[in-house]
Structure 1
Amino acid sequence: MTTGVDGLDTVLGGGLLEGRAYIIQGQPGAGKTILANQICFHHAAAGGKALYVTLLAESHARMIENLSSLEFLEPSLVPDGVYYISGQPALKEGLDSLVRLLRGEIRRHGTTLMVLDGLLNVREAARSGLDFREFMQNLQGQADFAGCSVLMLTSTGLPMASPEHTMVDGVIELTDDLSGVRTTRHLMVTKHRGGPHLRGLHQFDIVERGVAVYPRLEARYGQPSRGDTAGTERMSSGIETLDAVLGGGLPAPSMTLVLGASGTGKTTTGLHFLARSSPMEPGLYFGFYETPPRLLSKAAAVGIDLGALVDQGAVEILWQAPTENLLDGLGHHLLEAVDRRGVRRLVIDSIGGFERAAEHPRRLLAFLTALTNELRVRGVTTVASWELRQMLGSSIEAPAVEISSLVENMVALRFVELQARVRRILAVMKIRDGAYDSQLREFEITDRGIELASAPDGAEALLGGFAHKRDEQASR
């Protein structure tokens, strides 16, 4: 039985098992009520019958009011598809009375999904542990007989050895964890009897459409989702002289890392690559630092009419502020956009946006491994930027070996200062399985874009002058 919650069915290995009982637990405010209602309305929209039983003080009217801003709430499904009742009066008479109420309501409505909101109240009303276990057995028996799935919500973190955990078929835990000054919502399936699931913590958020779960990318794509192919095709970088240096262009599909300090031309390099996009070879700009208006203006300043490509449907611009993003949310949004448009040219500006979103920095390598694998098997040729701190000098600070090993191609851009002028130099550091020109090239950024020297003479003379000047300074 699918839940209709983005990403949750993937974590659950396909969804909930029909006729089984599950616990959803989490502290107040973690999102239990929203999640349960979202599953109910999806179930009703698909033709099922959902019964929502509250054992809490909150009225149904107040609950609906609190949910009214969420897109999944469809008032026309109430009460025929989603029916709300209060179990508090029956609970005051004892657990047997509550079981009789639930049994009768399941039969009367032909319920196929029931939510019991307030399991902790049942536990507290039980005269003994045996009394509570009998209630759980009776409830599961009735639900199983009727072919009804049950979701029980509780606000307390119960030990795995508790009767609730041992007797149900699955446990879904929601948390809201503090890391520094920010909080991040996590979901974890700690038990899922009879079905595979993605283990560990997965980020989720509450957005306009309701709960959205973002499975850890490295867990979902531990192995690439489809077969990889190693072709011999080359894709133009958008700069003819650079294509010659690259040995005919960028291998396709592949990942190219463009390294350089701020202002060296990384984004402009990406814009040249996107400028070759077409409706038949769609491009995507996935950026963190340049807003769409600023990006269009920047492209126009170097002679690239990016706005026209956007209007033609050849390029899409996706921008997200580099603030409190969810790492896996970014990864899934990127892959969704790639699949939706059949993207062939992708610019990620920059990898630092993912790095800033990483709640646990040690995860970044595994995340990027899964992401680059998925882009590659989807036939995407990617140009990604990586900002270096070093502004000037004749040497370059390469990224960590682990990051370098993920990419097939690396191009370095750097500044060199000589005779009171700052000059730019480009160097191709590696190309996957292909010959390339490893000599340095000086380049300029003009109103026609990047103009790369066709011969290395200027760069060699420039670095020679830099070294000579450095030697003179050292001898003083």
Structure 2
Amino acid sequence: MEIKSTYIENLDEVLGGGMIRPSTTLIAGTAGTGRTTLGLQSLCMAARNNEKVLYVAITPKSKQNVKEMLSRFKFFEDTVNVHVFDTSMAERDPLTMLVELGNVVTSMGPDRVMIDPITPLGYSFPDSERRRFMYSLSSAIGEWNCIVYLTGTLLLDEIHTSVINDIVDNILYLSQTTTRFRTMRNLEILKMSGLGFTEGEHTFEIKDSGVKLYPICIPEKISLKPERERLKSSIEKLDTILAGGILKGSSILVAGSAGTGKTIFGLHFIMDGAINGEPGLIISFEETPEELYQYSKSFGWDLEKMEKEDQVRILFTPPSDVYPNKHTLHINKLIEEIGVQRVFVDDISGFDYAFERNIDKKEHIYNLIRNFKNKKITSCFTSEIENITGNLQVSHIALSMVMDVVILLRYVEIESEMKKALLVLKIRGSGHDKSLREYSITDSGMKIGKQFREYTGILTGSATPAHGRAYEPYTSGFTSEKDRVMRELIKEKETTAERLSETTGIDHDELEVILSQLEGLGYVVPVSKKGEQYYKIVLTDIEKE
């Protein structure tokens, strides 16, 4: 078995090595998806590598017009042999065309042939006759002993019912999705004979130089031993709150409204690592490198110098330019360049344009975290909370189960003055200080101060002097149903949805919605015990005398 390269970057990797010779590949998709560009680019690159190639165009245009059109591609090679068949002939008398094409192939002996497109062949025939012709075409191709590309204008559903599906070894399906922000092009392998291919949608772009493919990045599920090493922070008192520091390899979510210091927290995280010989990567969607250089100088950090010394890398991508597969490949390249051990993503809303569904965005963030963990990298993500004060939600997608550490930064109003409060909502695998702490932003960065002992209702944004129980402020604005669920969870500490439904009298569907909302708020986390799903209260100290 001879495996030949497609000569398209990353495509061989996705296909499991390349193309088997002989084999027949259908490149299908709707108009404008890049079928001709993909096939022709592979053909031209093969010609550049001294292969004999034949391009067969089925079109009403003349051979001269076809050559002029092909020459507009920057990758086009003059050594490509071009043969043209009229579309009307291909539709009415494909057998005559097939005989003539067979003679051309026999006299030339090409290594690769491309028929563009195949769908007009026998188009005017009844289905049964067209099916017989396609099998005749398959038999003829089998005698050519070369790699054959067939392009076809077909929808995904049409491929599965078309006879073409039966006569080809491989099927590549190209699609595109257009939103108000961008056009996203994807390549999916529907069928590949003889080689193990990578499943999923692989993003690609069409540039002047041709197709640029970005394979989907699905990290392996590697069993890792729990890290016990803790990373020290230059933020005063943070290590004490975190029971000694953040566990190495953890994923951290820092949530807060605009101006609460999320980016400063992340820069502390990166600079602490760089100073201690742990190179860091900043993934920014809003601030350019130059803006981050200037911003960091306000706190006495020379980020530009650190980058020149290969202690830091900055990857800036405007949200409208984020293509997930391409972005992840770039991240992995930068990680390898300087041996990154810490990553700061500022913030997760930068992925909003790339995903229409929150579930897809959550899956992408999960894959990023798994990728980092596999490389033993500690990661920090920020999430912006829309409300400055009042009711809060840690992120607009439920990420608490994905993250190892969740830290909340919050504005609070105390005696007509705005202050800032920090609360560690969760650390997986470790205890932590559960008290609310005041903090401030100074010339040297973030400073954590005393606990808010004298007030309740801190998380509502409007604190009142402490008296009695401190439960109500945490549920300000809750419905009576949500209030009942919270009270039951506080009492039980952890329980199942079925048990909650029984004790609260709330039906299962409504309860699932409430639990999802509480998870998004960071009050509840789902845990698995002996194959059963439990819900556990996070803020275990929210009801005190």
Distance 2:293 2:100 in 1: 63
- Determine if the alignment matches structure 1 residue 231 to structure 2 residue 227: yes
- Residue of structure 1 aligned with 2:363, choices 362, 366, 374: 366
Map 1:430-445 → 2, pairs under 5 A? 430-445=426-441
Deviations 1:269-315 (A, max 9, x none): 11111213449532111111112222221111122111111111221
- Determine if the alignment matches structure 1 residue 38 to structure 2 residue 41: yes
1:151 Cα deviation after fit: 0.9
Distance 2:226 2:198 in 1: 30
1:350 Cα deviation after fit: 0.8
Number of aligned positions between the proteins: 455
Distance 1:20 1:464 in 2: 70
Secondary structure of 2:224 counterpart:
coil
- Determine if the alignment matches structure 1 residue 170 to structure 2 residue 170: yes
Secondary structure of 1:460 counterpart:
coil
Distance 1:47 1:141, change over 3 A: farther
- Residue 362 of structure 1 aligns with an amino acid whose one-letter code is I
- Residue 147 of structure 1 aligns with an amino acid whose one-letter code is N
Q: Does the 8 Å CA contact 1:90/1:97 hold for their aligned counterparts?
A: no
Unaligned residue ranges in structure 1 (runs of 5+)? none
- Residue 349 of structure 1 aligns with an amino acid whose one-letter code is D
Distance 1:289 1:99, change over 3 A: same
Deviations 1:139-167 (A, max 9, x none): 44444344311111122444523222222
Map 1:216-365 → 2, pairs under 5 A? 216-217=216-217, 220-221=218-219, 223-224=220-221, 226-278=222-274, 281-323=278-320, 325-365=322-362
Distance 1:303 1:115, change over 3 A: same
- Residue 144 of structure 1 aligns with an amino acid whose one-letter code is G
- Determine if the alignment matches structure 1 residue 460 to structure 2 residue 453: yes
Secondary structure of 1:120 counterpart:
coil
1:250 Cα deviation after fit: 2.0
Distance 1:435 1:361, change over 3 A: closer
Q: Does the 8 Å CA contact 2:404/2:426 hold for their aligned counterparts?
A: yes
Distance 1:255 1:43 in 2: 45
Deviations 1:188-237 (A, max 9, x none): 333334444455544433235532344554xx44x43x553322222334
Distance 1:208 1:239 in 2: 49
TM-score for the superposition, normalised by structure 2: 0.74
Secondary structure of 2:119 counterpart:
helix
Secondary structure of 1:410 counterpart:
strand
Q: Whose RCO is larger (CA < 8 A, sep 6+)?
A: 1
Map 1:29-178 → 2, pairs under 5 A? 29-45=32-48, 48-57=51-60, 59-68=65-74, 73=75, 77-79=77-79, 82-88=80-86, 94-124=93-123, 132-133=130-131, 135-157=133-155, 158-178=158-178
Which residue of structure 1 lines up, in the alignment, with residue 415 of structure 2?
419
Q: RMSD in angstroms over aligned alpha carbons?
A: 3.3
Distance 1:228 1:50 in 2: 49
Distance 1:134 1:422 in 2: 79
Q: Does the 8 Å CA contact 1:285/1:317 hold for their aligned counterparts?
A: yes
Secondary structure of 1:439 counterpart:
coil
Map 1:199-218 → 2, pairs under 5 A? 199=199, 201-217=201-217
1:413 Cα deviation after fit: 0.9
Unaligned residue ranges in structure 2 (runs of 5+)? 468-472, 474-545
Which residue of structure 2 lines up, in the alignment, with residue 20 of structure 1?
23
Q: Does the 8 Å CA contact 1:347/1:383 hold for their aligned counterparts?
A: yes
1:384 Cα deviation after fit: 0.5
Percent identity, aligned pairs only, is 27
1:107 Cα deviation after fit: 4.5
- Residue 122 of structure 2 aligns with an amino acid whose one-letter code is R
Secondary structure of 2:393 counterpart:
coil
Q: Please, which moves more after superposition, 191-200 or 90-99?
A: 90-99
- Residue 467 of structure 1 aligns with an amino acid whose one-letter code is A
Q: Please, which moves more after superposition, 368-377 or 189-198?
A: 189-198
Q: Does the 8 Å CA contact 1:55/1:88 hold for their aligned counterparts?
A: yes
Distance 1:332 1:290 in 2: 21
Q: Does the 8 Å CA contact 1:257/1:385 hold for their aligned counterparts?
A: yes
Deviations 1:393-412 (A, max 9, x none): 5x753347841111111111
Distance 1:239 1:78 in 2: 64
Distance 1:176 1:464 in 2: 49
1:132 Cα deviation after fit: 4.5
Secondary structure of 1:66 counterpart:
coil
Deviations 1:217-274 (A, max 9, x none): 4xx44x43x5533222223344353233323332121211111111101111111112
- Residue 274 of structure 1 aligns with an amino acid whose one-letter code is I
- Determine if the alignment matches structure 1 residue 429 to structure 2 residue 425: yes
1:137 Cα deviation after fit: 3.9
